Amino acid sequence: MSTERTRRGRLPRSRRFLLVSLLAGASLTVAAAGDPGGPQGGGYQDGRTAGVTLENSSIRLSGNGLGGSADGYRVPRPCWYEPGKSAEEMLQSQESVRAMWFHTNPGATEEQYEEFLKQYKDKVGQPGKWWSPAYNSADPGGMSCWAGLEGALWVPQGTTPPGGITAEELLQIARAALTVPEPTIHLNPDAKSYVNLPTWVWLDGIGATTRSVTATLPGVMSATVTATLNRTEVGSEPGAPLAETRNACGTTGKRDQSGGFTCGVKYLHSSADPSMGGKAYRLTVTTVWDVTGASTGGVVGLAFAPVEVTVERGVTVGEVQSTVRR
Amino acid sequence: MVSVCAVLTACGGSPQEREFTPAGAVAGQPSSGAGTAKPPVAETVAAGPGLKVETEWPTGLNASHTAIVKAFTDYYAGRWRAVGSLGKDKSYLGGVEDAAARDAYKWVRGFVAGKWSARGVAKLYALRVASVDGHGAQIDACVDESGVRVTDRSGTPVSAQPAWTKPPRSTYFQVAAVRQGDDGTWRIMLFRHASYPDERAKECVR
């Protein structure tokens, strides 16, 4: 038994109402009160560059890796089909929007309506589900990708249609939703450093050094992506020969380096030095998070490129003035 | 009745990362050069007694993108024809499907059920094919409905005009997801919008 579709696009008018019920449930309410006119449709999400905002999806996201700033990771394909209603549920939902169907198909006959319903009635009693399209609206290509999919597909039990969500895609969605915190740089000395004086570096605000996101398609599968803070790297601009960096920083730098300078920068020239052009040094701190992921039962596992978060601040370096008296 | 004239005014710039070009352009399709870009072409269509829709067509569209943009402009003019005809003209429903069909019907129904109509000029500009993916596409547009007045059926403006007829809410950003059917025709599947004070809406203000 193969997958069958209820097509969108140029169809018999009797088939053109599918997603009204999929998206709006059984609501037949017509807005008759209040002002007419104005913009159409729901709110448009601005700033769509990456991250995950699921539309028409039953996928649930959870975990302590949610809520930060997206790092720009994009899933390979921002739309997919998901299993949805049973044959009986779909028929009921389509029958429940009968009035709206006739509103949006002016001049249609009862016979045409019955023809429209037939595709749903035919599936009643068969094992399987109607799969419907979903998308990531945080992806700039999500909406057009979604629009290119069919309104719904009948999928026999135990099979996945072309374009149907896979464990790997669920993992990709979890990865796109994963965020890690932006650290706060701490220095010692803080306000100003001095030539040949080691400037210690450590971070605050990291919180948990393991962050995860789980994407769950209820009753079907789940996938978890975990980011683990591996190390912190310090950099200086300009670097050698004007500055020396120490990068044995561990995961979050070193607050106390009285036993030995291992994490930070030793500036060898004043920032007032003509070679600096009158500018402060730019100290950068990068946290590197290793990212791995696996689906339920380890069916699919993926290693992702590390997530790197870089923050920076300017450092003014002065010279220690000494007066030698004889 | 259709009249065509050149529009000499153009919008200002916009954030480059989003490739949003209020003057009207196609994502990923460079214009013929900033200094030589042709102004959009305005098309004015009668939508009913005293009611017009003015559309600024971006220049340089290929045939495919023209068809995509036309799916939206035809619908937009069609919905105002429905209002201008007091609900008798239902041709707008031929250009929408699924959730968009529901939204479109409810939008027109809002006028018809309240025994309202409209007069004035609705403007559509900065049309842009934001992305295309197989048989799906996204269209972005700016809408200025500050020239529209809601009227009673006789054409007399009602005293309490809706907020969307007045600046700043009268200018907004409209998005439509469209799909090409098996017959090759593009139809709208979904609407989204951004109203003032959203940045997208502000970028539409001239």
- Condensed to tens digits (0 to 9), the pLDDT of residues A206-235 reads 899 999 999 999 999 999 999 999 999 999
Amino acid B14: pLDDT: 31
Please answer yes or no on whether A144 and B143 come within 8 Å at the CB atom. Answer: no
Judge: B99–A23 Cβ closer than 8 Å, yes or no: yes
CB contact under 8 A, B98 and A151: yes
Model pLDDT, residue B36: 54
- Report helix, strand or coil for A111: helix
- Percentage of chain A with pLDDT > 90? 69
Residue A301 has pLDDT above 90, yes or no: no
Q: Is residue A121 part of a domain?
A: yes
Instruction: Say if residue A131 is in the same domain as residue A222.
Output: no
Distance from CA of A11 to the nearest CA of B (A): 8
| A145 vs B contacts (CB less than 8 Å) | 133-134, 136
A199 and A127 belong to one structural domain: no
- Kindly state whether residues A252 and A193 are assigned to the same domain: yes
Residue A40 forms part of a structural domain: no
Domains of chain B in sequence order = 2-204 (3.10.450.50)
User: What pLDDT was estimated at residue A6?
Assistant: 65
Q: State residue A324's pLDDT score.
A: 66
**Residues 208-237, chain A, touching B (beta carbon < 8 A):** none
Tell me which of B91, B129, B138 to substitute to probe the interface with A (most A C-beta atoms closer than 10 Å).
B138
Closest alpha carbon within chain A to B146: A38
Average of pLDDT values for A268-293? 91
CA distance B19 to chain A (A): 11
Whether the pLDDT of residue B86 is over 60: the answer is yes
- The reported pLDDT for the residue numbered B16 is 33
Alpha helices by DSSP H, A122-191: 142-147, 167-177
What one-letter code names the amino acid at A47?
Answer: G
Closest-CA residue of A relative to B178 is A147
pLDDT (mean) for A264-282: 89
The pLDDT of residue A292 is 95
Q: Which of A35, A80, A97 to mutate to test the interface with B (most CBs of B within 10 A)?
A: A35
pLDDT in tens, A186-204: 999 987 899 999 999 999 8
What is the pLDDT, as a whole number, of residue A191?
78
Angstrom distances, CA of residue A294 to CA of A35, A84, A135: 51, 24, 21
Does residue A313 share a domain with residue A232? Answer: yes
Helices (H), chain A: 18-24, 87-96, 98-104, 110-121, 142-147, 167-177
| Domains of chain A: total | 2
Q: Is there a contact between B177 and A140 if contact means CB atoms under 8 Å apart? A: no
Judge whether A269 and A315 are in contact, CB under 8 Å: no
Question: Which amino acid appears at position A8 of this protein?
Answer: R
Q: How does pLDDT run across A79-138, given as a tens digit for each residue?
A: 999 999 999 999 999 999 999 999 999 999 999 999 999 999 999 999 999 999 999 999
Q: Span B40-54, mean pLDDT?
A: 95
Q: Over 70: is that where the pLDDT of A4 sits?
A: no
State residue A68's pLDDT score: 83
pLDDT value for A17: 45
Q: How far apart, in whole angstroms, are the C-alpha atoms of residue B205 and residue B195?
A: 11
Q: Based on the domain organization, do A131 and A200 belong to the same domain?
A: no
Distance from CA of B64 to the nearest CA of A (A): 15
The predicted pLDDT at position B154 comes to 95
What is the domain extent for residue A270? Answer: 184-318
The two tokens of residue A82 are: 């998901």
User: Which of residues A137, A165, A193 is at a domain's end?
Assistant: A165
Q: Write the residue in B114, B175, B185 that is nearest to A36 by C-beta.
A: B114
Cβ <8 Å between B175 and A7: no
Same domain membership, residue A307 and residue A259: yes
Q: How many helices (H) and strands (E) does chain A have?
A: 6, 17
Q: Look at B179 and A104 and tell me if their CB atoms are within 8 Å.
A: no
- Residue that is last in its domain, among A165, A194, A220: A165
* Interchain contact A23–B (C-beta under 8 A): yes
C-alpha distance from A31 to closest chain B C-alpha (Å): 6
- Please give the average per-residue pLDDT across B84-105, as a whole number: 96
Instruction: For residue range B125-148, list pLDDT tens digits in order.
Output: 999 999 999 999 999 999 999 999
Question: Are A147 and B136 a contacting pair at CB < 8 A?
Answer: yes
Same domain for A158 and A290, yes or no, is: no
The percent of residues above 70 in pLDDT, for chain B, comes to 82
pLDDT at A321 over 80: no
Specify whether A194 is located in the same domain as A161: no
Query: Do A18 and A142 reside in the same domain of the chain?
Result: yes
Predicted confidence at residue A111, as pLDDT, reads: 96
Q: Poorest-confidence range of A64-68, A261-265, B64-68, B120-124? A: A64-68
- Which chain B residues contact residue A49 at CB under 8 A? 17
A67 falls within a domain: yes
- Contact A144/B138, CB-based, under 8 Å? yes
Q: Do B104 and A40 touch (CB under 8 A)?
A: yes
The residue from A165, A199, A225 where one domain ends is A165
**Residue-level pLDDT at A183:** 87
Flag if B189 and A144 touch (Cβ within 8 Å): no
pLDDT band at A46 (very low <50, low <70, confident <90, very high): low
DSSP chain B: -EEEEE---------GGGT--TT--BTTB--S-TTTPPPPEEEEEEEETTEEEEEEEPSS--HHHHHHHHHHHHHHHHHHHHHHTTT---GGGGGB-HHHHHHHHHHHHHHHHTTEEEEEEEEEEEEEEEEEETTEEEEEEEEEEEEEEEEETTSPBPSS--GGGSTTTTEEEEEEEEEE-TTS-EEEEEEEEE-TTSHHHHHH--
Chain B positions touching A44 (Cβ under 8 A) are 173, 175, 192-194, 198, 200
Judge if A310 and A268 occupy the same domain: yes
Check pLDDT > 50 for residue B34: no
Condensed to tens digits (0 to 9), the pLDDT of residues A57-81 reads 999 999 999 988 888 899 999 999 9
Assess if residue A170 is contained within a domain. no
| A42 domain residue, yes or no | no
Per-residue pLDDT at A217: 96
Model pLDDT, residue A275: 80
Amino acid A41: pLDDT: 78
Same domain for A150 and A207: no
Q: pLDDT higher for A326 or A243?
A: A243
Q: Give the per-residue pLDDT at A296.
A: 86
Joined together, the tokens standing for residue B205 give: 């203000």
pLDDT at residue number A322:
66
The answer, yes or no, to whether residue A27 has pLDDT greater than 50, is: no
Interface touch B99/A19, C-beta < 8 Å:
yes
Determine the pLDDT at residue B21: 44
For an interface test with B, give the residue of A75, A81, A143, A150 to mutate (most B CBs within 10 A): A143
Whether residue A193 is contained in a domain is answered as: yes
A71 and A154 in a single domain? The answer is yes
| Spatial contact of A72 and A49, defined as CB atoms under 8 Å apart | yes
| A172 belongs to a structural domain | no
Q: Residue B177 — very low, low, confident or very high, per pLDDT cuts 50/70/90?
A: very high
Whether A239 maps to a domain, the answer reads yes
Residue-level pLDDT at A18: 54
Residue A34 DSSP SS3: coil
